[in-house]
Amino acid sequence: MKITVVNVYAKTMPMASAYNMSSAPVGDPSTTIIEIITDSEHVGWGEICPSGPLPQPEHAGSIRADLELLGPTLIGTDPTLIGEVWAAMTGTMDGGIGAKSAIDIGCWDLLGKATNRRVCDLLGGPLMDPVPTYHVIPIGTPGESAGLAERLQDEGITKLQLKAGGRRIEDDIAAATAVAGVVRPGVDLFVDANRGFTVEQAIQFSQACTGLRFDMEQPCHTYDECAAAKSSLTHPLLLDECAKDLATVAKSISSGVANGFGMKLTRVGGLSGMRAIRDLCLATHTPTSFDDSWGGDIIAAACVHIGSTMPAALSRGAWISHPYHQLHYDEVNGPRIEGGMVAIPAGGPGLGLVMPTGCFGDAIASYG
C-alpha cells in the first residue's frame, strides 16, 4: 500500500459549555483533520486539535504549517510500515510532534483497515470495553463546583478533575474542600492547575488540603518546579504538560517525582508514542490516562482504543471532549459517554469510524 494523497481539513468546534482553566478559557477550537488516501481502497484518518494557543506549545496554525513540510514527504510511503513513515517524517523536520502524531494516528487507522483488525487489537487487545472516562469541573465558586460534582456523579462519572490556578490560592483551597466533601466512595478526584501554581502556592495548597482525598495534577509550570515541590506535597503528584516525551516520563518515574500521568497522544507521537509510554507505565505500575487536548471523533477514538488496552487498576481513563462541544463526525460510532464510560467505536476495523463523504467540506491543503 502506498500513500497517494494527503488532504488537510479545518473544522471549528463551537463550545457547548464553559471550560475554564488556569491559563485561559477554551474558545472555539479549530481542529485539523488529516485524510490519508492510498492506492488501495482504504483511507486513513488522523486529527489534532489544541484547545488554543494556551496551554499547549502548538496551535492550529503551527500544525498546518508543519503539515506543509510533512505532507509531501509521505507520498509514496507505505502507511502500514509506521516505523518507515516516522523515519520519513523525522528526516524532514525536528519539531512538529503534533502534526506527526496526527499522521501516525491516520496510519494506525490504515493498518487496521488493511489487516481487518481494530486499532485496539493491534495494540495488544482491549482489557476493558467500555473504558472509563473523567469529567472536568471548570474553575468556579465552591458551590458551583460542588454542585457540578454531585450532578456528574449522579450521571455515573467515577473520575472528576477539578481545575485550579490563575486566581487567589484561597479560592482554590475553598473549591477543592467543597468538591472533596461531596466526592463519594469509589470516585477519584484530581485537582489540575494546568501549571497555574508557583512552587510555593502548590505547597501551600496541598498542605492546606491535607487529609482531603485527591491527587494533584501538573501544579507548576516546569518539571523542575514540580520536582522542587514534590517532597513538601501531602498529595500524590501527576504530571501532564511537562511529561512531553518518553525520556521525561522515564525520568519522572525513576526519580519518584511522578505518581502518575495525564498523557496527551498528540504531545508524545500519537498512538506509537503513547504505546511506548503505556508499556513503561505498565512495567513500573504507574497509572496514566489516555487523552488529548481537544478535537472530535477521530482523536477521541484513538484515545479510547489505546485506553482500552491498559489494565483497569492502572488506567486513569480516556478523556474525550465530546461533552463540551457535542459534535460527531460519525453520528453512529462516534465516541460518547454513557454512565461514565466510553465504548470502543464499533464501525469496523481501524479506528472503527465511518466518515460521511464530504463531512469536512473542502480541503484547506492537499499534497500528492
Supply the residues annotated as catalytic.
163, 264
For Mg ion, the closer of residues 36 and 306 by Cβ is 306
Separation of alpha carbons 147 and 17, rounded Å: 16
Q: What is the smallest separation between the CB atom of 126 and Mg ion, expressed in angstroms?
A: 24
Q: Which of 262, 296, 323, 334 binds Mg ion (CB under 5 A)?
A: 262
Site residues for Mg ion, 76-105, by CB under 5 A, read none
Stretch that binds Mg ion, among 102-110, 123-131, 186-194, 357-365 (CB under 5 A): 186-194
Q: Which residue, among 239, 266, 262, has the nearest Cα to 319 in the 3D structure?
A: 262
Residue type, 61: G
Q: What is the smallest separation between the CB atom of 258 and Mg ion, expressed in angstroms?
A: 13
Stretch that binds Mg ion, among 47-55, 88-96, 120-128, 260-268 (CB under 5 A): 260-268
Chain mean position to CA 260: 15
Cell numbers that stand for 50 in this block: 489544541
Site residues for Mg ion, 220-249, by CB under 5 A, read 240
Site residues for Mg ion, 342-361, by CB under 5 A, read none
For Mg ion, the closer of residues 267 and 336 by Cβ is 267
Q: Could you give phi then psi for residue 206, rounded to 5 degrees?
A: -65, -45
Residues sharing a CB contact under 8 Å with residue 363, sequence separation 6 or more, in sequence order: 7, 8, 9, 35
For Mg ion, the closer of residues 192 and 215 by Cβ is 192
Beta bridge partner(s), residue 32: 10, 48
Cell numbers that stand for 228 in this block: 522542587
Neighbours of 2 (CB within 10 A): 12
Separation of alpha carbons 278 and 221, rounded Å: 24
| Helix/strand/coil for 250 | helix
Q: How many chain residues are in contact with Mg ion, going by CB under 5 A?
A: 4
Sign of the CA dihedral with 100 first, then 136, 189, and 54 last:
positive
Q: Which of 47, 192, 292, 297 binds Mg ion (CB under 5 A)?
A: 192
Site residues for Mg ion, 24-83, by CB under 5 A, read none
215 binds Mg ion (CB under 5 A): no
Residues sharing a CB contact under 8 Å with residue 347, sequence separation 6 or more, in sequence order: 330, 332, 333, 353, 354
Q: What is the smallest separation between the CB atom of 238 and Mg ion, expressed in angstroms?
A: 8
Q: What is the smallest separation between the CB atom of 17 and Mg ion, expressed in angstroms?
A: 18
Q: What is the smallest separation between the CB atom of 333 and Mg ion, expressed in angstroms?
A: 27
For Mg ion, the closer of residues 118 and 316 by Cβ is 316
For Mg ion, the closer of residues 240 and 292 by Cβ is 240
Would you call the peptide bond into 130 cis, given omega within 30 degrees of 0 as the criterion? Answer: yes
- By beta carbon distance, the residue nearest Mg ion is 240
Separation of alpha carbons 281 and 249, rounded Å: 9
Q: What is the smallest separation between the CB atom of 163 and Mg ion, expressed in angstroms?
A: 9
For Mg ion, the closer of residues 74 and 263 by Cβ is 263
Query: Which residues sit at the interface with Mg ion, rule CB under 5 A?
Result: 192, 217, 240, 262
